[in-house]
Structure 1
Amino acid sequence: MKQAKVLTEKELKKVIDYIDAFDKHAHRNKVIVLLTHYCGMRVSEVASLLVSDVVNDEGEVNDVIHLTANQTKGSDSRRVFVSKKAKTALKQYLQSDLSVIQRVYLFNTQNSKRFNTNALTQLVKRLYERVGIVGASSHSGRRTFITKLATSGVSVRVIAEAVGHSSIATTQRYIDVNDELIGNAVELV
């Protein structure tokens, strides 16, 4: 089975620019895509996010999202560390629609219902297709996140913990071995 495409910075910017310009649910859809890219979240995890997972009692975005075993793949809970970029996007989303804070789920459909994983998977795939990115899927953000960390020299063990993999072998399969990664490696000699 072919793996989801790893996006370049330019391709991600193209998707975000498209969402900002043409999408009537721009704030919501931008954050959905960015959580996969900036936090390495699975689309199923994004779909299951509760407002209370993301926002604390003071109304501020948490530094760490604690996902229950019901919200993750497998049977283990996990922590998602929220990057500064992700936190900024979440704050903008919350400020764009003040009613979000009153809901149970962070992301609702236009019919005010909770997104299921399949609907969110299709939404993300459609956004990539609309800007002409071939081979991208709802898993592209997660693969891009993992590959960026590997390219930056982050230990596979740390990456595995960050994305909730119990085995580093699983994490290694996500890493796109590219020219930048190889170039960085040979410079270590």
Structure 2
Amino acid sequence: MSGGSSHRYSARNHAIFAFSFFAGLRACEIAALEVGDVFDERGDVRDTIYLAAAQTKGDEAGTVLVSKRLNNALKSYATSYPRQISNAKAPLFFSAKRGGFSPQTIVNLFAKFYAEAGIKGASSHSGRRQFLTELADKGVNVRVIQALARHKDISTTQRYIDFNERKLRNAIELV
């Protein structure tokens, strides 16, 4: 996972990428996060993030479970930018001008880092796709993946799960 470790806001960038790769959040959802959604009054990372309908793509409230890897990225973010997490109503992620990010700015940030890394064809949705595919590759039931993706229709979830010849060959050897 990239995160722009040589960039001056590397902990911020890593946390943004972590939301995509370790929780499957969309750019619009990352941009909509407020400090209080992610950190409690003591500054500790919440184990569950509740997204209001206005913060999601489908205008439907949802729940995001925080994994250990996401938790670690968020702790690093809080340590690197303690003043940023002091106001519960402030945008979670700040821009260089100290305002929040728009969904398009998050999309542009992903594009910038993927381009710098020489990764062609990647987008702000690549981490989400990787998150869901990895769960499937590890044998997680598609209904569980659907719930984690917050998809209404299971066919949407299935379109995210990539396969290739190696996976097909491994599957036939199970019989």
TM range (shorter): over 0.9
Could you tell me which of 136, 141, 149 is aligned with 2:127? 141
The answer to which structure, 1 or 2, has the higher relative contact order (CA under 8 A, 6+ apart) is 1
What is the Cα deviation at residue 57 of structure 1?
Answer: 2.2
Question: Any conservation in 2 of the 1:151–1:184 contact (CA below 8 Å)?
Answer: no
Are 1:77 and 2:61 an aligned pair?
yes
| 1:65 corresponding residue in structure 2 | 49
Question: What CA distance in whole angstroms lies between the structure 2 residues aligned with 1:170 and 1:106?
Answer: 29
Structure 2 vs 1, CA of residues 80 and 181 (structure 1 numbering), >3 Å: closer, same or farther? Answer: farther
In structure 2, the partner of 1:5 is: none
Matched, 1:33 2:17: yes
- Does residue 97 (structure 1) correspond to residue 100 (structure 2)? The answer is no
Structure 2 unaligned residues grouped into runs of 5+: none
CA distance in 2, matches of 1:181, 1:56: 41
Deviations along 1:46-87, whole A, 9 cap, x unmatched? Answer: 111111000112321011100000000112100011110000
Q: Distance in 2 between matches of 1:67 and 1:78?
A: 5
Q: Aligned to 2:99, what secondary structure does the other structure show?
A: coil
Query: Could you state the TM-score of these two structures normalised by the residue count of structure 2?
Result: 0.94
State the distance in 2 between where 1:140 and 1:186 align: 28
Identity, in percent, stands at 42
Alpha-carbon separation, structure 1, partners of 2:19 and 2:112? 17
Q: CA shift at 1:100, angstroms?
A: 1.2
Q: What's 2:117 paired with?
A: 131
- Distance (whole Å) between structure 1 residues aligned to residue 166 and residue 83 of structure 2: 43
Length-normalised TM-score, structure 1: 0.87
Q: Which shifted more, 179-188 or 141-150?
A: 179-188
CA RMSD of aligned residues (A): 1.2
Where do 4+ consecutive residues of structure 1 move more than 6 Å?
A: none
Q: Which amino acid aligns with 1:126?
A: K
Q: Secondary structure at the match of 1:62?
A: coil
Unaligned runs of at least 5 residues, structure 1: 1-11
Which amino acid is the alignment partner of residue 14 of structure 2? Answer: K
Distance 2:166 2:51 in 1: 33
Task: Give 1:182 shift.
Answer: 2.3
